[in-house]
Structure formats: structure tokens, C-alpha cells
Amino acid sequence: MAIFKDLDERTHVFGVLTLQPLILAATATAYVDMTRYNSVQFLLGVGTNDSVGSFAMEQSTALDSNGTEAALAFHYRKSGSITADTMGAIVYVNSDSSAAIAASDDDKWFLIEPDQLSDGYRWCRLVVTPSDSNGVDIWAAAICKGARWPGNVQMSAS
């Protein structure tokens, strides 16, 4: 009999942005519904990067365009490249700023944790913005923790 100690019923992984080249326009991940989980971390993967850009967090009162959106403060850590098992310091970014993706961030990961949502807001997402047209390959996943109603069949985070 197997013991699934690491496949717990309180953590849910949700792919919020498929692998894609980011060229010219800001790209947002899918929203995560924070009424179903106690916390979320976004894992942003950066591939070969000939460009620079930035990322920021948003919160919303609705899943669709009828909601009110607002910027959201967050913390993040950046990994070393894939061949280096190192993590950078935790950095705080306030709600009127964004974090930079440098041209030297090839094959790195950003672990991003939003601050608590403001009253009346239910959803959050990550927005990545390029600074030029050279492009960068990115993808993102949401790691939702502390399911409010855990079970073997996990609740959707969207």
C-alpha cells in the first residue's frame, strides 16, 4: 500500500499560462479564485530571453470584464539558472510598481506570492509585460494551498 504523503488534498496546482512567446503586448494569466484556497504562489518560468520586461499582480471583483481590477502588492524570489540550485532574496513590490525581468534571466524561475486581497476582491492574477518586440518565452502555474474544503477530488481554482 502506498502512502501519498506529498500528494495531499490541501494543495492544488493550476496551469494559468501555457508556454508562449511574449511579444509586444502584456499577457495576463488566468485568474485564481481565492475564496477556495488560503494562499497562492505563482511560478513564472522564463526561457531564452533576448528582451527585458516586467511582471505585476492584479486583483479583481469578478472573473470577467465586468469586474473592478486593481493593482496588488506582492513578494517574489528569483532562482538561479536551471543549472544552478540557488534562490535569491525575498523582494517586496508595492502595488504601484512591477518587478523587472532582465535580459540575463535566461532559464530562471520567479516564485511570486501576492499580498492579501483588498475587501470585495476575490480573484488575482499575474500580468507579464515585455519592454520591446524581441520576445521571451514564458509560462506560469498557480500553486494553491490550504483548500478550504479539502477532498480527494480537488476544487477548481478558477
pLDDT digits (tens, 9 = 90+) for 101-110: 888 888 889 9
Strand partners, 28: 127
Identify which has the larger pLDDT, 7 or 136.
136
Distances (CA, A) of 7 to 10, 11, 41, 43, 80: 9, 8, 17, 18, 27
Q: Give me 110's grid cell.
A: 520567479
Q: Where are the alpha helices (DSSP H) in 41-147?
A: none
**pLDDT score recorded for residue 84:** 77
Q: How far is the C-alpha of 72 from the C-alpha of 74, rounded, in Å?
A: 7
Topology of domain 11-147, CATH: Jelly Rolls (2.60.120)
Q: pLDDT-derived band of residue 90, with 50, 70 and 90 as boundaries?
A: very high
pTM recorded for the entire structure: 0.86
For the chain, the structural domain boundaries read 11-147
Bigger pLDDT: 71 or 67? 71
- Whose CA is closest to 122, among 56, 42, 34? 34
Q: Which residue has the cell 495531499?
A: 8
Q: What is the pLDDT of residue 141?
A: 95
